[in-house]
Amino acid sequence: MNIVVLDGYGLNPGDLTWDSIKTLGHLTVYDRTSDQEIIRRAANADIILTNKTILTAGTLQSLPKLKYIGILSTGYNVIDIEAAKSKGIVVCNIPTYSTESVAQMTFAHLLNITNQVDHYARENRNGRWNASMDFCYWDSPIMELYGKKFGIIGMGHIGTAVARIARAFGMEVLTVTARKADTLPEGVKKVSLEELLQKCDVVSLHCPLTTESRQIINWERLTQMKSTAILINTGRGHLVNENDLAEALNQGIIAAYGADVLCVEPALPNNPLLTAKNAFLTPHIAWASTEARKRLLEICTDNIKAFLNGTPQNIVE
């Protein structure tokens, strides 16, 4: 059984081991694979593992031995699912491995914005506290989360985890979700998008990217929000209109934006959010805690074992 990893570096830059997968077949791992290299590298593959390397219908047509594609993430937009299905190729993803890590990053962004820990640490390295005439100083508003309204758009696994943490901070949680109100966690209130945007001090995006949710945050929606509101996006870059958002930040329409995702990654030099006022960006690392990546590898291994045993799991339909 030939197993080829097309882009293993993102998951495992060297601090983890592929040993569990090596026990299942002859394993070849590439850090990165260009579009032009896919067919040559995967020509004899029975199993391909990929994270962001795109497998089109044309590429799949050129890989006659391929029986299984393991996606090293939850999202599966890099695979032409219909083409794989037509060729009898099983496609499996890795659900829920990073729920707690992404929820943690959501609040890392929020607390960075509300408490400005990085800002003051940098100021103090430059001697500002030493030069202070008083025992303390601050040059930006500090927001207490207790009693504030936290809006969650999308109440799946991650949204639910975020709601739990928000409640622990003593925040009132509102949500826009397809779920029925009586199935929501205790203390979470289902509302309309308009009500959520108008009332919430924090809005956090956790919905899947669909035709309906693409650019769900645009100029019209931004102008419905409080001028003191904080927007957090650890979901998908395309949930926001980046030009509209940058302009809204620069004009003070909303107070701040914390995000782990952009529409194009890695970031383009001219992305307006890179220089927008009070925009704080991390490089798509919410999923990348050591614990989450270990969990991903374990589930990936279990997925392959289940496939080899004739009982595939986590199949993308």
The yes-or-no answer on residue 109 being catalytic is: no
Per cent of the chain over pLDDT 90 is 99
Residues 232 and 169 in one domain: yes
Asked if residues 209 and 156 have their Cβ atoms less than 8 Å apart, the reply is no
For residue 108, pLDDT beyond 90: yes
Residues 256 and 300 in one domain: no
Task: Choose the catalytic residue: 144, 194, 265, 291.
Answer: 265
Q: What is the CA radius of gyration of the chain?
A: 22
Residue 47 placed within a domain: yes
Interval 80-100: pLDDT, tens: 999 999 999 999 999 999 999
Residues 93 and 106 in one domain: no
Residue 118 placed within a domain: yes
Beta carbons within 10 angstroms of residue 281's beta carbon: 18
Residues 144 and 105 in one domain: yes
Residues 126 and 170 in one domain: yes
Residues 111 and 252 in one domain: yes
Residues 71 and 31 in one domain: yes
Residues 137 and 276 in one domain: yes
Residue that has been written with the tokens 């032009």 in this structure: 36
Task: Choose the catalytic residue: 109, 221, 236, 293.
Answer: 236
Residues 123 and 212 in one domain: yes
Reference 292, options 159, 152, 94, 29; nearest CA is: 94
Cα 316 to Cα 149: distance, rounded to the nearest angstrom: 36
Residue 316 placed within a domain: no
Residues 53 and 125 in one domain: no
Residue 314 placed within a domain: no
Which residues, listed in sequence order, are joined to residue 233 by a DSSP beta bridge?
A: 205, 259
Cα 73 to Cα 51: distance, rounded to the nearest angstrom: 6
SS3 190: strand
The yes-or-no answer on residue 284 being catalytic is: yes
SS3 30: coil
Residue 313 placed within a domain: no
- Give the pLDDT of residue 165: 98
Residue 317 placed within a domain: no
Cα 94 to Cα 75: distance, rounded to the nearest angstrom: 8
Cα 232 to Cα 12: distance, rounded to the nearest angstrom: 27
Top pLDDT among 312 and 75 is at 312
- Give the pLDDT of residue 55: 98
Average pLDDT over residues 166-192: 97
Residues 116 and 236 in one domain: yes
- Give the pLDDT of residue 35: 96
pLDDT-derived band at 64 (thresholds 50, 70, 90) equals: very high
Cα 235 to Cα 242: distance, rounded to the nearest angstrom: 14
Residue 116 placed within a domain: yes
- Give the pLDDT of residue 67: 98
User: What is the per-residue DSSP string for 35-79?
Assistant: GGGHHHHHTT-SEEEESS--B-HHHHHT-TT--EEEESSS--TTB
Interval 16-59: pLDDT, tens: 999 999 999 999 999 999 999 999 999 999 999 999 999 999 99
Number of structural domains found in the chain: 2
- pTM value? 0.94
Residue 23 tokens read as 């026990």
Parent domain of 67: 2-97+290-308
Interval 113-164: pLDDT, tens: 999 999 999 999 999 999 999 999 999 999 999 999 999 999 999 999 999 9
Q: Give the dihedral of Cα atoms 266, 268, 269, 274; nearest 10 deg.
A: -80
Residue 203 placed within a domain: yes
- Give the pLDDT of residue 317: 86
CATH of the domain at 220: 3.40.50.720
- Please report, in angstroms and rounded to a whole number, the separation of the first and last CA atoms in the chain: 24
> Which whole-number Å values give the CA distances from 313 to 31, 56, 221, 306, 309, in the listed order?
26, 23, 39, 6, 11
Residue that has been written with the tokens 């059984």 in this structure: 1
Residues 149 and 252 in one domain: yes
Interval 211-252: pLDDT, tens: 999 999 999 999 999 999 999 999 999 999 999 999 999 999
The yes-or-no answer on residue 82 being catalytic is: no
